[in-house]
Amino acid sequence: MKFKKFLSIPIISVFSLMGFAYYITIFIFIQDWLGLESSSGFRNALIFSFFAFLSLFSFFVCVIRDPGHVPSSYVPDVEYSPSTDQDSTKSVSHSRRCDKCSSYKPPRAHHCRVCRRCVLRMDHHCLWINNCVGYRNYKGFLTLVLYTTVASIHSMVIVVSSGLQKDFTGRPPLKIFYISCGALMVALSFTLGTLLGWHIYLLAHNLTTIEYYEGKRAAWLARKSGQGYRHPYNVGDYKNITLVCLSLSLSLSHTYTHTNGS
C-alpha cells in the first residue's frame, strides 16, 4: 500500500530529474572535463554518486515513513493544567479537539486536508514526496534537503567548470545544451540551498513552518496589547537541534501518546 504513493506525477518528476542530473553529471560533464578514467574524474564521480545515493535513500524514507498519526485512544492529560477543573474541561473540549477528525489532538499536531488526518508536529504537506512532513519523518526530510543541496552544488561546479574549458566554436547547439544544464543546476542549487537554510533556522528555534506563521500572528497580537511573545517550545539552539537530530522519541512520546493505567 505504501508503494502506491510513488505513483504520482510529482514523485515521477523527482525521479526523472534525479536520473537526468546524475547522468549528465557523471557521463557527460565529468567525462568531458576530467575523464572518468583519471583519478580526479573517478574521485568526483564517486563523491557525487555517494551523495546521490544518500539523497535517493532519504527520498524513499520521506515518502514511505508515516509522519506520525494521533492515536485514536489519545485523550489529553489535564492533570498538569494550572487552570481550574471547569477551565480545563473547556480547554480540552475546544482548544485540543479537531473539528474535522472529531477527536482530541496533542499540542503541535495539525490537521492535514490532503491526508485527511491529524499529524504530530506537522511542518507541511509536501507535494514532491506525496506525504506530510511531521514528527517521524522530519529528520529524513532534513537530510534529504541537505544531501540534495550538496549534490546539486557539486554538480553545478562540475557543469560550470566543464563549460568554461569547452570550445564551442561552430557548435551552437552544444553551447545551448551546456548553458541550459548550467542554468538548471544553478537554479536547483539556489532553491535547495534556500530551503535548507530555512529549515536550519526552524530547527534552531524548534519551530515548524506552521508554527512560524502562527507565531508571527501571535507576536503581532502580543505587541498590539503591549505584551511580549516567546515560542513556548524554544529551549535553546543546542537542545532544539538535538531534539530532532537525536530523535528523543522516548521523552517526547509522553507528550503525544495517552497510555492507560500509567
Residues across the chain: 262
Active site residues: 126
Cell numbers 530555512: residue: 198
128-147: b or e for each residue (b if 16 or more CB lie within 10 Å)?
ebbbbbbbbbbbbbbbbbbb
Is residue 64 a contact partner of residue 140, using CB atoms and an 8 Å limit?
Answer: no
Residue 90 in grid coordinates: 473547556
From CA 253, how far away is CA 119, in angstroms rounded? 14
DSSP string covering 94-156: HTTEETTTTEE--TT-EEETTTTEEETT--EEETTTTEEE-TTTHHHHHHHHHHHHHHHHHHH
From CA 173, how far away is CA 168, in angstroms rounded? 9
